[in-house]
Structure 1
Amino acid sequence: MRSFVTNNDIPVGYVTPKFPSLYWPINNSKYNTAFLYYISDIWKFSLYWTLIFNGAFYVTAGVYASLTHRKKAGSVWIFVMYVLYGGVQGLTTGTVMGFLIGAIYRSGLFSMSTWVPLCCAVVQILFDVVLSYSMVGSVM
């Protein structure tokens, strides 16, 4: 049972959950639920998940591109550029997405499950995968 004292519906004694703090919310008595209330916590979780997924995607793409061009002199630089681009993109999209969904949840006085930043990062990386195909990218 949660008891609320403040007007922004943050429980008394609330402690920010550790990253990743994912739990299965259906029929689960073993783990406590983990919610995010502060915009800074929502931003951190969104940024971490976006950097993880972007890192995995762009490192894999960079290794593949480097291996296909391994006989040329710039194959190492191809990998470095992929990783650098993935890091910068992860930092910017994670920051924008984190503050945006944080502001939306905060304005409605909702608590955010720790699954929401993960799902937003998955959607963002799937959007990158869809745009990586040249025909789809030119149509959109």
Structure 2
Amino acid sequence: MISLDKKQVVEKWFKDYFTKGNLEVVYELTTSDFVYHSRNGENNREKMIDFMKWYRSVFHDDEWVIDDLIEQNDKIVVRYTGWMTYKGGWFNIPSENQRVKETGILICEFEDGKVKEMWCENSDAAILYELGALEHNTHKVF
């Protein structure tokens, strides 16, 4: 069974941080020593705020669905799907107001009811393919 408090934190992350771009929610939902582990190294709250400012300038009209939640000890794993409209500003890809889909898996480690660490693997390459930035028919899609 999923802890209600952890589920509510995750739901608020997608609803307020991603969908609404509410930057204050980062401080509300994460610990002061929060770490986001990314391909580019470790990031803190301020980097998450910088990311969201960029994201909101590039994507709009988000819709997010939490497909699965798995909890073990102090961690919760989220499989999610999102749809958003691309408005331009990513790798000089021209905008045609394309609707794109992202899928991903987010892992949150909790401490005292807040997210202390976070990991995310998502489908950025698939989004680039949908936007035409990756050449079609150059690889198989499974």
If the length of structure 1 is used for normalisation, what is the TM-score?
Answer: 0.32
If the length of structure 2 is used for normalisation, what is the TM-score?
Answer: 0.31
Q: 1 or 2, which has the higher strand percentage? A: 2
Q: Which has the greater radius of gyration?
A: 1
> Could you say which structure has the greater relative contact order, defined with CA pairs below 8 angstroms and 6 or more residues apart?
1
